[in-house]
């Protein structure tokens, strides 16, 4: 038996006990400064435990912990549901962390009130006020405790209306996918956490939510929840020779445990198929809740393989190499044969009849030797972007496509080095953003006033936050793109003052400002930005920027938020 397996029962006990302790911190004002760090540590413990023992945590959807409060039972289930959906979506550890912090924090100020409601007891007038303001209070407490990232506080601010909309047949648009994950978890947790809930409450609640809501992200998230639970339906019950038995391990040889008075009596290994259902089991049996998991060879969740680093090794070669033939480029990108379809599609832009290339060699000859390396770089990065999982992945991809259309229009579809010199750095920055700023990305644009209006507008604002981490971006570009003039021009357009911008940097500024204008009704270009737009329009053969806007209007560009 592995050391991890031996220790898991202790870790599970610690998880539940710490959840109860954290939920009591609010009632001691001296503890307020420690609330956010403690929440963050507990969220990390949930993540680590889920990766080590998903079986055990799945079972906690069925088990009601008699020794702990109703709110602790609710929060445990809510966090487990978030872990399940996050795993299904393939979200990064940082995103999962923010979701879990919001999960726990949502009840940080109203444990006593929720305990009463779960027991069908009436609240005092003061209790009713606290319950009504619970999320606003949670935000204040998090800020008092030094919460740096605003994601969790934003989710809490929107949680109540989101839950209300999901429960109703109201077709109100719901834009914040991170809040949706927490809201779904909360609704399902309430359905399964109340002591004495009806049999099959889990499947009934999911079915009701699915039929009530038409939002695509909600339905996909519910599907991910069902899919993950179907893979590990641990905690579900069956009848074994006239006795209740609970599934502990789904494998070729299943592991069940029989119960008597909701206490574990024995373990059974069997290949016989059984029909299982979700039924709540109220228990304080430490053998069943914790210790049994040390006696089962638990499947763990392996970290998903990312091809980010291997892809960028090839990108570096393309950037630094001096290629005298198409064959040399083909040899460099050989480790990624799957990009052939994407490359042949990308080459359509360079064909007057908009026909795609027949194969990689044909695609490269269509664009020419000078542009081929840049095109390969861009296509490889686009593959990375499409594979990185994020709650707003669809929105990020839509905005990237819109940037490419804005650029193509500005340069009058003169595809070639100019086009690739701009779009390749933009695609590289979006890949950087998804890896290093994943918890900062939002669906709406950021139109807050700039702190330093002598600097250009950052592309990050199109994706909902004020600026990129300048040092990390510098390191990223230095590592992968060296002294590429195109990438240096993009950096120039992000950090240098207006009077220090190069001609190429001004083109980046124009593309960013145009993209913001066509993505946000709230964005208003400054006088300096308008001057840049006019200059760049004339540079690429337009009479003025108004002509560019007319051409963009003809494309029927749209914001994905409708």
pLDDT tens per residue, range 457-484: 899 999 999 899 999 999 999 888 887 8
CATH topology for 3-219 is Hypothetical protein af1432 (1.10.3210)
Q: How confident is the model at residue 1 (pLDDT cuts 50, 70, 90)?
A: very low
pLDDT(272) > 80:
yes
Domain ranges, ordered by start, for the chain? 3-219, 305-383, 388-561
What does the pLDDT read at residue 437?
A: 93
For residue 309, what pLDDT band results from cuts at 50, 70 and 90? confident
Q: Provide the 3-class DSSP secondary structure of residue 473.
A: helix
- Give the integer Cα–Cα distance in Å for 105 and 79: 11
**Dist. CA 356–CA 144, nearest whole Å:** 57
Helix (H, G, I), strand (E, B) or coil at 265: strand
Query: Could you give the CA distance from residue 374 to residue 354 in angstroms, rounded to a whole number?
Result: 20
Mean pLDDT computed over 239-263: 91
Tell me the per-residue pLDDT of 338-352, one tens digit each, with 9 for 90 and over.
788 888 888 887 877
Which DSSP string do the residues of 339-402 spell out, in sequence order?
Answer: GHHHHHHHGGGGSTT-PPPSSHHHHHHHH-HHHHHHHHHHHHHHHHHHHS--TTHHHHHHHHHH
- What band does 562 get if pLDDT is binned at 50, 70 and 90? very low
Percent of the chain's residues with pLDDT above 90: 57
Alpha-carbon distance of 182 to 162, in angstroms, equals 9
Is-contact 294 8, C-beta < 8 A? yes
For 381-393, give one letter per residue: b (16+ CB within 10 A) or e.
bbbbbebbebbbb
Phi, psi of 255 (to 5 degrees): -115, 120
CA distances from 518 to 167, 305, 398, 402, 455 (A): 34, 36, 12, 9, 21
Q: State the Cα–Cα distance between residues 539 and 33, nearest whole angstrom.
A: 56
- Mean pLDDT of all residues belonging to the chain: 88
> What average pLDDT does the segment 510-521 reach?
92
- CA-closest candidate to residue 109, choices 145, 129, 135: 135
Mean pLDDT for the stretch of residues 117-121: 92
Percent of the chain with pLDDT over 70: 94
Chain position carrying tokens 């947790």: 189
């Amino acid at each position: 038996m592995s050391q991890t397996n031996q220790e898991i029962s202790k870790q599970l006990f610690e998880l539940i006990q710490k959840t109860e302790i954290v939920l009591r911190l609010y009632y001691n004002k001296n503890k307020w400064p420690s609330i956010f760090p403690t929440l963050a540590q507990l969220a990390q413990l949930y993540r680590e435990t889920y990766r080590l023992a998903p079986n055990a945590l799945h079972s906690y959807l069925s088990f009601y912990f008699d020794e702990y409060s109703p709110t602790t039972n609710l929060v445990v289930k809510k966090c487990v549901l978030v872990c399940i959906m996050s795993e299904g979506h393939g979200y990064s550890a940082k995103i999962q962390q923010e979701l879990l912090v919001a999960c726990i924090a949502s009840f940080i100020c109203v444990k006593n009130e929720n305990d009463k409601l779960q027991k069908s007891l009436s609240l005092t007038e003061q209790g009713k006020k606290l319950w009504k303001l619970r999320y606003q209070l949670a935000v204040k407490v998090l800020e008092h405790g030094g919460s740096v990232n605003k994601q969790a506080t934003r989710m809490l601010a929107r949680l109540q209306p989101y839950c209300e909309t999901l429960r109703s047949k109201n077709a109100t648009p719901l834009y914040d996918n991170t809040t949706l994950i927490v809201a779904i978890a909360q609704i399902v947790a309430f359905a399964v956490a109340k002591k004495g809930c009806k049999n099959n409450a889990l499947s009934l609640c999911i079915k009701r939510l699915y039929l009530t809501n038409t939002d695509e992200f909600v339905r996909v998230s519910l599907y991910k929840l069902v899919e993950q639970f179907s893979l590990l339906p641990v905690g579900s019950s069956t009848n074994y020779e006239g006795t209740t038995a609970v599934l502990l391990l789904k494998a070729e040889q299943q592991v069940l445990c029989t119960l008597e008075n909701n206490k574990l009596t024995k373990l059974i290994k069997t290949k016989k198929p059984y029909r299982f259902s979700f039924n709540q089991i109220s228990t304080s049996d430490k053998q069943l809740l914790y210790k049994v998991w040390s006696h089962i060879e638990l499947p763990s969740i392996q970290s998903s393989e990312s091809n980010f680093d291997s892809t960028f090794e090839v990108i570096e070669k393309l950037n630094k190499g001096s290629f005298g033939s198409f064959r040399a480029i083909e040899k460099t990108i050989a480790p990624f044969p799957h990009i052939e379809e994407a490359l042949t599609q990308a080459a359509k832009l360079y064909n007057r009849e908009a026909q795609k290339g027949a194969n990689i060699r044909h695609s490269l000859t269509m664009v020419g030797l000078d542009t081929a390396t840049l095109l390969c770089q861009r296509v490889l990065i686009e593959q990375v972007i499409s594979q990185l999982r994020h709650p707003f992945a669809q929105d990020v991809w839509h905005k990237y496509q819109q940037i490419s259309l804005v650029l193509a229009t500005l340069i009058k579809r003169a595809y070639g080095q100019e086009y690739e010199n701009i779009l390749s750095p933009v695609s590289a920055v979006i890949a950087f953003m998804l890896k290093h700023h994943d918890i900062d990305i939002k669906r709406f644009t950021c139109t807050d006033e700039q702190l330093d209006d002598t600097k250009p507008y950052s592309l990050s604002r199109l994706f909902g936050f004020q600026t990129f981490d300048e040092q990390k971006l510098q390191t990223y570009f230095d590592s992968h793109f060296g002294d590429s003039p195109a990438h240096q021009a993009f950096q120039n357009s992000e950090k240098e003052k207006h009077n220090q911008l190069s001609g190429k940097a001004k083109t980046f500024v124009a593309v960013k400002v145009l993209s913001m204008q066509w993505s946000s009704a709230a964005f208003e270009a400054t006088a300096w930005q308008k001057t840049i737009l006019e200059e760049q329009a004339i540079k690429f053969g337009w009479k003025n920027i108004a002509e560019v806007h007319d051409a963009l209007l003809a494309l029927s560009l749209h914001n994905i938020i409708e």
